[in-house]
Copies of this chain bind each other. A is one copy, B any other.
Amino acid sequence: MDISVRTSPAESARGGAAERLSAMAHDDMRRVDALILERMGSPVPLIPKLARYLVEAGGKRIRPLITLAAARMLDYDGDAHLKLAAAVEFIHTATLLHDDVVDESDLRRGRRSANVVWGNAPSVLVGDFLFARAFMLMVDAGSLDALHVLSRAASIIAEGEVRQLAAKGDPDIGVEAYMTIIGAKTAALFAAAAEVPAIVAGRGREEAEALETYGRELGLAFQLVDDMLDYGGLSDKLGKSVGDDFREGKVTLPVALAVRNADADERAFWERVIRTREQRDGDFDHALALIRRHGALEATLEKAREHARAAQHALSIFPGNTWRESLSDLAGFVVDRAY
Protein backbone atom coordinates (compact mmCIF):
# COMPACT_ATOMS: atom_id res chain seq x y z
CA MET A 1 0.00 0.00 0.00
CA ASP A 2 1.14 3.49 -0.78
CA ILE A 3 1.77 5.68 2.27
CA SER A 4 0.81 9.11 1.07
CA VAL A 5 -1.60 11.95 1.46
CA ARG A 6 -4.96 11.11 -0.02
CA THR A 7 -8.05 13.14 -0.63
CA SER A 8 -11.44 11.63 -1.09
CA PRO A 9 -13.21 12.33 -4.38
CA ALA A 10 -16.51 12.77 -2.54
CA GLU A 11 -14.96 15.10 -0.02
CA SER A 12 -17.20 18.10 -0.54
CA ALA A 13 -20.44 16.13 -0.30
CA ARG A 14 -19.43 14.62 3.01
CA GLY A 15 -18.30 17.92 4.46
CA GLY A 16 -21.95 18.98 4.32
CA ALA A 17 -22.73 19.49 8.00
CA ALA A 18 -19.57 21.45 8.73
CA GLU A 19 -20.08 23.54 5.63
CA ARG A 20 -23.72 24.23 6.45
CA LEU A 21 -22.71 25.35 9.92
CA SER A 22 -19.89 27.47 8.47
CA ALA A 23 -22.42 29.13 6.16
CA MET A 24 -24.82 29.83 9.03
CA ALA A 25 -22.02 31.26 11.17
CA HIS A 26 -20.46 33.08 8.22
CA ASP A 27 -20.78 36.63 9.56
CA ASP A 28 -19.52 35.71 13.02
CA MET A 29 -16.67 33.70 11.52
CA ARG A 30 -15.59 36.61 9.35
CA ARG A 31 -15.34 38.72 12.48
CA VAL A 32 -13.38 35.95 14.21
CA ASP A 33 -11.02 35.73 11.23
CA ALA A 34 -10.50 39.50 11.41
CA LEU A 35 -9.76 39.22 15.13
CA ILE A 36 -7.34 36.37 14.50
CA LEU A 37 -5.47 38.37 11.86
CA GLU A 38 -5.39 41.46 14.06
CA ARG A 39 -4.25 39.65 17.19
CA MET A 40 -1.50 37.66 15.53
CA GLY A 41 0.02 40.96 14.49
CA SER A 42 3.47 41.91 15.81
CA PRO A 43 6.26 44.30 14.85
CA VAL A 44 8.47 41.19 14.73
CA PRO A 45 7.93 40.04 11.11
CA LEU A 46 8.60 36.33 11.65
CA ILE A 47 5.67 36.06 14.08
CA PRO A 48 2.74 36.92 11.78
CA LYS A 49 4.51 35.14 8.91
CA LEU A 50 4.75 31.88 10.79
CA ALA A 51 1.36 32.24 12.48
CA ARG A 52 -0.29 32.94 9.13
CA TYR A 53 1.27 29.81 7.67
CA LEU A 54 -0.60 27.76 10.23
CA VAL A 55 -3.80 29.74 10.51
CA GLU A 56 -4.24 29.84 6.75
CA ALA A 57 -3.63 26.12 6.36
CA GLY A 58 -6.84 26.37 8.23
CA GLY A 59 -8.84 23.21 8.25
CA LYS A 60 -12.45 23.78 9.09
CA ARG A 61 -11.99 25.95 12.21
CA ILE A 62 -14.22 23.39 13.88
CA ARG A 63 -13.41 24.49 17.46
CA PRO A 64 -14.28 28.19 17.09
CA LEU A 65 -17.27 27.15 15.01
CA ILE A 66 -18.59 25.23 18.01
CA THR A 67 -18.17 28.31 20.23
CA LEU A 68 -19.99 30.52 17.75
CA ALA A 69 -22.83 28.09 17.09
CA ALA A 70 -23.38 27.36 20.78
CA ALA A 71 -23.53 31.11 21.52
CA ARG A 72 -26.15 31.53 18.78
CA MET A 73 -28.13 28.51 19.98
CA LEU A 74 -28.35 30.26 23.37
CA ASP A 75 -29.48 33.56 21.76
CA TYR A 76 -26.40 35.27 23.19
CA ASP A 77 -26.32 38.85 21.91
CA GLY A 78 -22.94 40.17 23.12
CA ASP A 79 -19.61 39.84 21.34
CA ALA A 80 -17.50 38.00 23.91
CA HIS A 81 -18.11 34.76 21.98
CA LEU A 82 -16.08 36.16 19.05
CA LYS A 83 -13.06 36.80 21.27
CA LEU A 84 -13.41 33.43 22.94
CA ALA A 85 -13.70 31.69 19.56
CA ALA A 86 -10.51 33.41 18.38
CA ALA A 87 -8.80 32.48 21.66
CA VAL A 88 -9.82 28.84 21.20
CA GLU A 89 -8.31 28.82 17.70
CA PHE A 90 -5.10 30.43 19.01
CA ILE A 91 -4.76 27.79 21.73
CA HIS A 92 -5.32 25.10 19.10
CA THR A 93 -2.75 26.66 16.74
CA ALA A 94 -0.18 27.05 19.53
CA THR A 95 -0.70 23.39 20.39
CA LEU A 96 -0.19 22.34 16.77
CA LEU A 97 3.06 24.31 16.57
CA HIS A 98 4.40 22.67 19.72
CA ASP A 99 3.10 19.23 18.74
CA ASP A 100 5.04 19.32 15.51
CA VAL A 101 8.23 20.07 17.46
CA VAL A 102 7.45 17.35 19.99
CA ASP A 103 6.56 14.75 17.34
CA GLU A 104 9.34 15.84 14.98
CA SER A 105 6.65 15.93 12.29
CA ASP A 106 7.42 16.75 8.68
CA LEU A 107 3.90 17.27 7.40
CA ARG A 108 0.80 18.97 8.74
CA ARG A 109 -2.40 18.79 6.68
CA GLY A 110 -0.32 17.76 3.68
CA ARG A 111 2.00 20.77 3.88
CA ARG A 112 5.50 20.89 5.32
CA SER A 113 5.03 21.68 9.00
CA ALA A 114 6.26 24.99 10.42
CA ASN A 115 9.16 23.40 12.29
CA VAL A 116 10.47 22.04 9.00
CA VAL A 117 10.12 25.36 7.18
CA TRP A 118 11.42 27.66 9.96
CA GLY A 119 13.01 25.34 12.52
CA ASN A 120 12.04 24.25 16.01
CA ALA A 121 13.00 27.42 17.84
CA PRO A 122 10.57 29.80 16.09
CA SER A 123 7.82 27.17 16.32
CA VAL A 124 8.24 26.97 20.10
CA LEU A 125 8.35 30.75 20.51
CA VAL A 126 5.52 31.63 18.14
CA GLY A 127 3.44 28.96 19.88
CA ASP A 128 4.14 30.76 23.16
CA PHE A 129 3.23 34.07 21.56
CA LEU A 130 -0.12 32.74 20.30
CA PHE A 131 -0.81 31.17 23.66
CA ALA A 132 -0.20 34.52 25.40
CA ARG A 133 -2.35 36.31 22.82
CA ALA A 134 -5.11 33.77 23.44
CA PHE A 135 -5.14 34.83 27.08
CA MET A 136 -5.20 38.50 26.15
CA LEU A 137 -8.27 37.79 24.01
CA MET A 138 -9.90 35.98 26.92
CA VAL A 139 -9.18 38.94 29.21
CA ASP A 140 -10.87 41.18 26.63
CA ALA A 141 -13.87 38.85 26.67
CA GLY A 142 -14.18 39.96 30.29
CA SER A 143 -15.22 36.72 32.01
CA LEU A 144 -13.04 35.25 34.77
CA ASP A 145 -15.20 32.11 34.70
CA ALA A 146 -14.56 31.59 30.99
CA LEU A 147 -10.86 32.25 31.64
CA HIS A 148 -10.90 29.57 34.30
CA VAL A 149 -12.43 27.04 31.94
CA LEU A 150 -10.01 27.76 29.10
CA SER A 151 -6.84 28.00 31.22
CA ARG A 152 -7.79 24.73 32.89
CA ALA A 153 -8.28 23.19 29.43
CA ALA A 154 -4.83 24.43 28.39
CA SER A 155 -3.28 22.79 31.42
CA ILE A 156 -5.14 19.52 30.74
CA ILE A 157 -4.04 19.56 27.09
CA ALA A 158 -0.38 19.81 28.18
CA GLU A 159 -0.91 16.94 30.64
CA GLY A 160 -2.44 14.84 27.87
CA GLU A 161 0.48 15.55 25.56
CA VAL A 162 2.98 14.51 28.25
CA ARG A 163 0.96 11.33 28.89
CA GLN A 164 1.02 10.59 25.17
CA LEU A 165 4.75 11.17 25.05
CA ALA A 166 5.31 8.84 28.02
CA ALA A 167 3.13 6.16 26.40
CA LYS A 168 4.91 6.36 23.06
CA GLY A 169 6.36 3.05 22.00
CA ASP A 170 4.24 1.03 24.41
CA PRO A 171 2.03 -1.34 22.39
CA ASP A 172 0.28 -2.42 25.63
CA ILE A 173 -1.03 1.03 26.48
CA GLY A 174 -4.59 -0.32 26.46
CA VAL A 175 -7.94 1.22 25.63
CA GLU A 176 -8.45 3.06 28.91
CA ALA A 177 -5.12 4.89 28.92
CA TYR A 178 -5.64 5.80 25.27
CA MET A 179 -9.06 7.28 26.04
CA THR A 180 -7.56 9.26 28.94
CA ILE A 181 -4.93 10.70 26.59
CA ILE A 182 -7.34 11.81 23.89
CA GLY A 183 -9.79 13.04 26.51
CA ALA A 184 -7.06 15.45 27.61
CA LYS A 185 -5.12 16.32 24.49
CA THR A 186 -8.15 16.77 22.21
CA ALA A 187 -11.52 16.62 23.96
CA ALA A 188 -10.66 19.14 26.71
CA LEU A 189 -10.43 22.02 24.23
CA PHE A 190 -13.60 20.97 22.39
CA ALA A 191 -15.35 20.82 25.79
CA ALA A 192 -14.13 24.27 26.79
CA ALA A 193 -14.97 25.72 23.37
CA ALA A 194 -18.55 24.50 23.78
CA GLU A 195 -18.90 25.47 27.44
CA VAL A 196 -17.69 29.08 27.43
CA PRO A 197 -20.63 30.48 25.44
CA ALA A 198 -22.97 29.26 28.19
CA ILE A 199 -20.84 31.15 30.72
CA VAL A 200 -20.78 34.48 28.89
CA ALA A 201 -24.47 34.09 28.08
CA GLY A 202 -25.11 33.84 31.82
CA ARG A 203 -26.68 30.36 31.66
CA GLY A 204 -26.67 28.08 34.72
CA ARG A 205 -24.52 25.04 35.53
CA GLU A 206 -26.89 22.58 33.87
CA GLU A 207 -26.63 24.19 30.46
CA ALA A 208 -22.89 24.84 30.80
CA GLU A 209 -22.36 21.18 31.69
CA ALA A 210 -24.55 19.95 28.85
CA LEU A 211 -22.49 21.97 26.38
CA GLU A 212 -19.26 20.83 28.01
CA THR A 213 -20.43 17.24 27.56
CA TYR A 214 -21.38 17.94 23.95
CA GLY A 215 -17.91 19.32 23.28
CA ARG A 216 -16.05 16.56 25.08
CA GLU A 217 -17.98 13.75 23.38
CA LEU A 218 -17.61 15.42 20.01
CA GLY A 219 -13.89 15.83 20.63
CA LEU A 220 -13.50 12.15 21.49
CA ALA A 221 -15.36 11.13 18.33
CA PHE A 222 -13.25 13.54 16.30
CA GLN A 223 -9.96 12.17 17.59
CA LEU A 224 -11.03 8.53 17.23
CA VAL A 225 -11.88 9.15 13.58
CA ASP A 226 -8.64 11.09 13.08
CA ASP A 227 -6.68 8.16 14.46
CA MET A 228 -8.60 5.81 12.19
CA LEU A 229 -7.84 7.97 9.18
CA ASP A 230 -4.15 7.66 9.98
CA TYR A 231 -4.62 3.98 9.15
CA GLY A 232 -6.21 4.71 5.81
CA GLY A 233 -9.83 5.52 6.45
CA LEU A 234 -11.69 5.77 3.15
CA SER A 235 -11.23 9.50 2.99
CA ASP A 236 -8.31 11.63 4.12
CA LYS A 237 -9.57 15.11 3.62
CA LEU A 238 -7.34 16.56 6.35
CA GLY A 239 -4.39 16.02 4.08
CA LYS A 240 -2.69 14.39 7.04
CA SER A 241 -0.19 11.89 5.81
CA VAL A 242 -1.30 8.32 6.40
CA GLY A 243 0.96 6.28 8.66
CA ASP A 244 2.34 9.18 10.75
CA ASP A 245 1.27 7.67 14.06
CA PHE A 246 2.69 4.29 13.05
CA ARG A 247 6.08 5.70 12.08
CA GLU A 248 6.28 7.69 15.31
CA GLY A 249 5.44 4.65 17.45
CA LYS A 250 2.31 6.42 18.69
CA VAL A 251 -0.23 3.82 19.77
CA THR A 252 -3.80 4.82 18.92
CA LEU A 253 -6.97 2.79 19.32
CA PRO A 254 -6.71 0.79 16.08
CA VAL A 255 -3.31 -0.53 17.18
CA ALA A 256 -4.28 -0.94 20.84
CA LEU A 257 -7.21 -3.12 19.77
CA ALA A 258 -5.11 -5.14 17.31
CA VAL A 259 -2.47 -5.69 20.01
CA ARG A 260 -5.11 -6.82 22.51
CA ASN A 261 -6.15 -9.59 20.10
CA ALA A 262 -2.68 -10.45 18.81
CA ASP A 263 -1.29 -13.99 18.66
CA ALA A 264 2.40 -14.62 19.45
CA ASP A 265 3.69 -13.77 15.96
CA GLU A 266 1.60 -10.63 15.78
CA ARG A 267 2.75 -9.54 19.23
CA ALA A 268 6.38 -9.96 18.16
CA PHE A 269 5.62 -7.77 15.14
CA TRP A 270 4.06 -4.99 17.26
CA GLU A 271 6.92 -5.16 19.77
CA ARG A 272 9.40 -4.69 16.96
CA VAL A 273 7.69 -1.90 15.04
CA ILE A 274 6.24 0.04 17.99
CA ARG A 275 8.53 -0.56 20.96
CA THR A 276 11.91 -0.87 19.28
CA ARG A 277 10.73 1.03 16.19
CA GLU A 278 12.78 -1.09 13.85
CA GLN A 279 10.53 -0.50 10.87
CA ARG A 280 11.13 -1.90 7.41
CA ASP A 281 9.45 -1.51 4.03
CA GLY A 282 6.08 -3.18 4.06
CA ASP A 283 5.61 -2.95 7.84
CA PHE A 284 2.86 -0.36 7.56
CA ASP A 285 0.95 -2.56 5.11
CA HIS A 286 1.34 -5.52 7.43
CA ALA A 287 0.17 -3.45 10.41
CA LEU A 288 -2.86 -2.40 8.39
CA ALA A 289 -3.60 -6.01 7.49
CA LEU A 290 -3.47 -7.01 11.18
CA ILE A 291 -5.64 -4.07 12.19
CA ARG A 292 -8.20 -5.10 9.56
CA ARG A 293 -8.01 -8.79 10.45
CA HIS A 294 -9.07 -7.92 14.01
CA GLY A 295 -11.78 -5.52 12.88
CA ALA A 296 -10.01 -2.74 14.77
CA LEU A 297 -11.01 0.05 12.36
CA GLU A 298 -14.68 -0.90 12.56
CA ALA A 299 -14.44 -1.12 16.38
CA THR A 300 -12.78 2.32 16.50
CA LEU A 301 -15.48 3.75 14.27
CA GLU A 302 -18.20 2.20 16.41
CA LYS A 303 -16.68 3.83 19.49
CA ALA A 304 -16.55 7.17 17.66
CA ARG A 305 -20.22 6.72 16.77
CA GLU A 306 -21.12 6.15 20.42
CA HIS A 307 -19.40 9.36 21.46
CA ALA A 308 -21.01 11.30 18.61
CA ARG A 309 -24.41 10.03 19.76
CA ALA A 310 -23.59 11.07 23.35
CA ALA A 311 -22.71 14.53 22.02
CA GLN A 312 -26.05 14.75 20.23
CA HIS A 313 -27.89 13.48 23.30
CA ALA A 314 -26.30 16.20 25.47
CA LEU A 315 -28.02 18.82 23.30
CA SER A 316 -31.47 17.48 24.12
CA ILE A 317 -31.96 19.81 27.12
CA PHE A 318 -31.92 22.81 24.78
CA PRO A 319 -35.03 23.95 22.90
CA GLY A 320 -34.89 22.95 19.25
CA ASN A 321 -33.66 25.57 16.81
CA THR A 322 -31.61 25.55 13.61
CA TRP A 323 -28.37 26.07 15.57
CA ARG A 324 -29.06 23.06 17.76
CA GLU A 325 -29.75 20.99 14.65
CA SER A 326 -26.50 22.12 13.08
CA LEU A 327 -24.48 21.30 16.18
CA SER A 328 -26.13 17.89 16.19
CA ASP A 329 -25.36 17.39 12.50
CA LEU A 330 -21.77 18.36 13.18
CA ALA A 331 -21.42 15.32 15.43
CA GLY A 332 -22.63 13.19 12.55
CA PHE A 333 -20.20 14.84 10.17
CA VAL A 334 -17.25 14.14 12.45
CA VAL A 335 -17.97 10.41 12.16
CA ASP A 336 -18.83 10.54 8.46
CA ARG A 337 -15.28 11.68 7.75
CA ALA A 338 -14.32 8.05 8.28
CA TYR A 339 -15.96 6.95 5.04
Which chain A residues have a beta carbon within 8 Å of chain B's beta carbons? 42-44, 46-47, 94-95, 98, 101-102, 120-122, 124-129, 131-133, 135-136, 138-139, 142, 144, 147-148, 151-152, 154-155, 157-159, 161-163, 165-166
Contact = CB atoms under 8 A, between A and B. Distances in A.
A165 B125 contact: yes
20 contacts: A43-B159, A44-B162, A46-B165, A47-B159, A95-B128, A98-B124, A101-B121, A102-B125, A120-B120, A125-B158, A125-B165, A128-B161, A129-B162, A131-B154, A132-B151, A132-B158, A135-B151, A135-B154, A136-B151, A136-B152
Given A125-B161, A162-B122, A142 B144 contact: yes
Given A152-B136, A155-B136, A166-B44, A102 B124 contact: yes
Contacts of A144: 139, 142, 144
A328 B125 CA distance: 33
A306 B46 CA distance: 32
A142 to B, nearest CB: 7
A161 B125 CA distance: 7
A12 to B, nearest CB: 36
A248 to B, nearest CB: 11
A131 B162 CA distance: 14
A154 B131 CA distance: 9
A166 to B, nearest CB: 6
Given A132-B154, A133-B155, A154-B135, A163 B44 contact: yes
A159 B129 contact: yes
A229 to B, nearest CB: 24
- 6 residue pairs, one from A and one from B, having the closest CB atoms: A129-B158, A132-B155, A132-B154, A135-B151, A102-B121, A128-B158
Nearest to A151: B135
A133 B152 CA distance: 7
Contacts of A162: 44, 46-47, 122, 125-126, 129
A136 B165 contact: no
Contacts of A138: 151
A53 B128 CA distance: 21
Contacts of A126: 158, 162
A159 B124 contact: no
B139 A151 contact: yes
Contacts of A129: 155, 158-159, 162
A139 B143 CA distance: 10
Contacts of A98: 124-125, 128
A158 B138 CA distance: 18
A166 B101 contact: no
A104 to B, nearest CB: 8
A134 to B, nearest CB: 8
Contacts of A151: 132, 135-136, 138-139
